[in-house]
Amino acid sequence: MRGQVLKADGADGPGLILGDDGVRYNYEQGQVRGDGSLAPGQKVDFIGLGDEARDIYALGPAPQTPEPAAAPSVAAVPAAAIQPSSPQVQAQTAAPAYGSKPPAVPGDGVWTYFIRGITKNYFRFTGRARRQEYWGYTLFNVLTYFAVFILDIVMSAIIFGGDDFIPLLTLLWFLFQIIPSIAVTVRRLHDQDLSGWLYLITWVPYIGWLVIFVFMLIDSRPETNVHGPSPKYDPAATAFV
């Protein structure tokens, strides 16, 4: 598979490669074949195993960063060029409008987020989770409930002949998914620069679950906060991230 390096492996964490399949892969320098290290923007060929990149080969040299052009001296600038610009030009060069956001980074897929939620991120209450990660996990969590409930019906009919119903698998799944469900909700709150302890509001009768539901619908904040970079708007954010 081919891809592009988003972040080089370093002291701040593993490197990150965006594959042509739209999935981001972590990598370590030890998986780079040949001499030298990779740089952001470099094209590579690799083998993707889960969310890790293996046997990485550079497909060319690292892109060269152009040197900044020297600023012209005041004497070399015509007087007309330093006249105050018109209001129209000032409006065009003004800061971005309030609420504007950079382009979104492609997500890893709802199924990948679900599997990661019940495995690597099972006890992970730190970091941030984008909206797609939360709802991807929730979608397959609900589908799993339906699947184990149907299995419980079939098993009860076989064992008890339909006289009794024992929701054994449903109960086991309920107990298994409690921790990852809380963890992904806490990370989703972190993504909006909120405290994870806000999750406790779900215990408020009648309205607590509704408040959390509304927060889960709100888009990610693009800026970096105390919980890390934005997983949706920052290409350098890892998905284990």
pLDDT tens-digit series, residues 196-224:
999 999 999 999 999 999 999 999 999 99
Q: What is the mean pLDDT of residues 132-143?
A: 96
Fold of 2-58: OB fold (Dihydrolipoamide Acetyltransferase, E2P) (2.40.50)
Q: What are the residue boundaries of the structural domains of the chain, listed by start?
A: 2-58, 110-217
pTM for the whole structure: 0.59
Q: How far apart are CA 189 and CA 228, in angstroms?
A: 13
Report pLDDT digits (tens) over 4-34: 888 887 777 788 888 887 788 888 878 788 7
Total H helices, total E strands in the chain: 5, 5
| Residue pair 137/177 in contact by the 8 Å Cβ criterion | no
Direct distance between the N- and C-terminal alpha carbons of the chain, in angstroms, rounded to an integer: 21
Torsion angle of C-alpha atoms 145, 150, 152, 156, degrees rounded to 10 = 160
CA triplet 101, 104, 109: central angle to 5 degrees?
150
In our burial notation (b when 16+ CB lie closer than 10 A, e otherwise), range 188-219 reads bbbbbebebebbeeeeeeeeeeeebeebbeee
Q: Is 193 left (phi over 0), alpha (psi -120 to 50) or beta?
A: left
